Every structure is written in structure tokens, then in C-alpha cells.
Amino acid sequence: MRERTTSLKIVVAVLVGGLAFAILLQTRDKADDDFSNVRSDELVELLKSLDAANQRLSRQITDLTKTRDSLLDSNKRTEAATDAARERADALAILAGTVPVVGPGITISIGDPIGGVDAAVLLDAIEELRNSGAETIVINGTARVVGRTYVVDGDDGIRVDGRVVKAPYVIEAIGDPGTLKEGSRIRGGLVDTVEKRGATVRIVESQRITVTALADSKAPEYARADS
Amino acid sequence: MIPIVGLVVGVALGLWFQPDVPESLRPYLPIAIIAALDAVVGALRALGERRFDDRVFVVSFTSNVLIAAFMVFLGDQLGVGSQLSTGVVVVLGIRIFANAAAIRRRIFHA
């Protein structure tokens, strides 16, 4: 009888120990987060909610992709517009003489030993170079000729935009060298006129002429863009 | 005395080995634990009333665990696993509370 009680007590101890062991096991097992002890209907619910979330996120992805695409598109268009505007600004700056330029062209040197060259001759020369397609003209390396340029006879020489230029005159013109040269040489043209006044003309073609002289840029006082 | 040694050994083993629950036992272990707790609390009450019997404890503990596990198994087979588990937990919980209340009354007379 005594022995049986002891063995029963051991069984009780084993059971209690087993319970403690199982509780530890279970609480520890709960800690790692997996779905192996979730029931199937709970899993179905979970799956459904995940599905809904998935769909929502897919919609969001589509929306955001669309937004991104449109932003990229407008960005590209802005870039193109910026490029066009920059090109236009460059062209206008060259035209207005506010930037240094470089390019092929000709150099016309006019030696004037007897002072026969006056403002009219110089103006004619400029006009003829323009007719031949000169894009930039500069006289004596200092007077940049632009749309607003004026040429007058002064007491101390010819004034171009207020700057005094003196003989020998060196006119640099950027454009197609061949055309410019031909244009200067036509009968009754620049060379003829200048030589009639007792001056000498030398024309040199060049593949690279650098013009650093700038015209004074002045905002128009009366004219306004009408657009 | 020996049961306390068993308790300590069980806790020590659990902390020492830290094993994972076997896959086949996973659905049954939580319910089995509740059932076993019911048996233990009942045993504590019996101890307090000085009518504790090893044999009764062993039989009630074992049968509680087995029946609880069987009910979960049956519920899963019938497709009402979660409801039946809830029911078992509720019933066992009520029993645990009733026993705890009896112990409380005996100790505190309240």
C-alpha cells in the first residue's frame, strides 16, 4: 500500500512537471509568429483581408505610376521648352551683341593713307557684309556692330556707337568666308568704293575668328513686345 | 514534496531544451493545458479540504487532457473546431474559477 502511494505520487509529479513543461512550450511557441496553429477559417479571413489590401495597394501603384509618368512627361516637355528658349536666347544674344562669339569669317583691312574713308563708306561696307550674310561684325576689334549701331563722322575720326575708330580699319565679319569675300569684291561693292577713295583693301579668309567686343546692351525705352 | 520536485524539473526541462511543439500536437496542446490546469486547481481545492487523493488526481488529469484533445480533434473533423475549442475553454474556465472560489472561501473565509 505504501509503495503504491509513492509511485502514485511520482506519477503526480510527472504530470505536474509535464504540465509546466507544456505551458512553457506553448508560451514560447506563441512567441514566434507563424500561422501553423491558426485555424483554417481564420486563415481564410486573413487571406481575404490580405487580398483586399493587395488590391488596394495595386490600385495605388497604378495611380502613382500614372502620376509619375505624367510628371516625367511634363518634365520632358519643360526640358524641351527650356532648350528651345536657351537656343533662342543664344541667337538673340549674338544678334544683340551681348556675348562673345567665335566662328569662320573674313578680316578686311582697309589702309587709309589720305583719309578718304568716311562714315558713309564704312556704313556701306557694313551693309554689304550684312547682305552677304555676315552674322557678327566688329570694327577695329572694339566696335561691335548690331542692329542699333550708328556710324557718324566725328571731329577726331569716325564714331561707331560713340566709339572712335581710326585707320587702318579692320573689319571682322563672321559668316561663310567664301560668300563674304565674293560679296565684298562684286563690281561697285566694298572694294571698289574704298579703292576709289584712295584706300587699300586686304581681305583674309579665316576659319576661326574670335570676337570679344560687346555692344552696349540697353533696354528699349519705347518699344514693347506686342503679344 | 515529490510533486514540487516534478514541477521544478518540468520548468527546468522546458527552459533548458526550449523545444518546438511537434506539428501533430499543435492544435491540441493549448486545450490540453487548460484541461490539465482544471485538474490541478481541482487538486489544490481537494488538498485544502484534506481529501486529496493521488489516484483521483492522476485519473482526472489524464482523462481531462485526453477528452479535451479528443474534443478539439472531433471539432476539427466536424468543421466546428474553433467553436468547440472556445466552448471547451469556457467550460474549463468556469470550473477553474469555481474551484478557485472554493479555495478562496476556505482560506479567507470570504
Nearest to A199 by CA among A75, A113, A119, A122: A113
Provide the residue-wise pLDDT of chain A in tens; the chain has 227 residues: 567 777 888 888 888 888 888 888 777 765 555 666 677 788 888 899 999 999 999 999 999 999 999 999 999 999 999 999 999 998 888 888 888 999 999 999 988 888 788 888 888 888 888 888 889 999 888 888 888 888 888 888 888 888 888 878 899 999 999 888 888 888 878 888 888 888 888 888 889 989 888 888 777 888 888 87
Interface mutation vs chain B, best among A9, A15, A26, most B CBs within 10 Å? A15
- Could you tell me the end-to-end alpha-carbon distance of chain B, in angstroms, rounded to an integer? 29
pLDDT in the model for residue A76: 93
Strand partners, A204: A107
Write the residue in B8, B11, B58 that is nearest to A8 by C-beta: B58
Task: Give the one of A14, A22, A42 whose C-beta lies nearest to B32's C-beta.
Answer: A22
Q: What local confidence, expressed as pLDDT, does residue A36 receive?
A: 64
Which residues in chain B touch residue A18, judged by CB atoms under 8 angstroms apart?
10, 36
- pLDDT score for A132: 87
Helix residue spans in chain A (DSSP H):
2-31, 40-96, 119-131, 177-185, 190-196
- pTM recorded for the entire structure: 0.48
What is residue A29's predicted lDDT score, i.e. its pLDDT? 63
* A43 in B contact zone (CB under 8 Å): no
Q: Which residues make beta-bridge pairs with A179?
A: none
Expressed in angstroms, the distance from the first to the final Cα of chain A is 119
> Could you tell me which residues come within 8 angstroms of residue B67 by beta carbon, excluding any fewer than 6 positions away?
B35
CA–CA distance, A28 with A193 (Å, rounded to integer): 109
